[in-house]
Amino acid sequence: MSSGNVSAVLVHGAWADGSSWSKVIDRLKERGIDAIAAPLPLTSLGDDVAALDRTLERIEGPVVVAGHAYAGAVIGSTRSDRVAALVYVAALAPDEGETVGDVFYRDEAHPQAPQLAPDLHGLIWLPHDAFAAAFAQDGTPRELAVLAAVQRPIAVSCIGEAVGRPLWRDRPNWFLIAGQDRMINPDTQRFMARRMNANVRSYQVDHTPLVTAPDAVTDVIVEAVQSVSAR
């Protein structure tokens, strides 16, 4: 099935940048789908949504937007009419009136999850050893080294802002549940996916499958693109 003129916009989460999507971008290109990684400043939820909207403005035609982790709140907060479907990759999906923190801390943390605290600038950094312990425990040494080297901190304000009516209530959506996630409890992911009435795809992958299991992530995005194209 052709993807037609449907593009993909890929949105990174906390402690990452657009390069985290590089393997998925390659695979989507092989499937005939153009993809752009949206750069987020991670300075506030409002700033991040504005950054996503600027990326969406550059694209002609319908778009499938995929968000990883924290970026689930970002993709759910855009009101862009270019968005035809949403894909949540081990992502957070707060409902109206909720914050990222509300859903992130909903269930018990994994024993190897890092303790997170802001620095003197109100920024939260991921401890270096957390990349191998919890963020991407299935990654190769090289992948872990790159993730740690390019990490970008997230401002405390990002996780404390309540969201409005999320777009997942008004668009078809997919949710990749990461069964071996040590950052976002898989039970939390299942809860969010159920209330979203999402098309659920579950894999025994870590928190960052866009790096460690890119074929699985690509398949879910392609499924969403093809669904939009078939309409």
Residue 172 in 3-state DSSP? coil
Q: Is 1 a residue whose pLDDT tops 90?
A: no
State the average pLDDT over residues 55-67.
96
Tokens of 104: 């992130």
Do 86 and 167 meet the contact criterion of CB atoms below 8 Å apart?
A: yes
What's the mean pLDDT in 144-173?
96
Angle between helices 22-30 and 214-229 (to 10 degrees): 50
Cα of 101 vs its chain's centroid, Å: 15
Cβ contact 218:29 at 8 Å: no
Structure tokens at 161: 């802002």
pLDDT in tens, 28-41: 999 999 999 999 99
**CA 22 to chain CA mean position, Å:** 14
> Closest Cα to residue 183, out of 147, 216, 150?
147
Q: Which CATH superfamily is domain 7-229 in?
A: Alpha/Beta hydrolase fold, catalytic domain (3.40.50.1820)
Q: What whole-number distance in Å separates Cα of residue 231 and Cα of residue 229?
A: 6
CA angle 225, 229, 231 (to 5 degrees): 125
Phi and psi torsions of 105, nearest 5°:
-100, 20
User: Mean per-residue pLDDT for 189-197?
Assistant: 97
Average confidence (pLDDT) over 136-146: 97
What gap in Å lies between CA 90 and CA 161, rounded to an integer?
A: 20
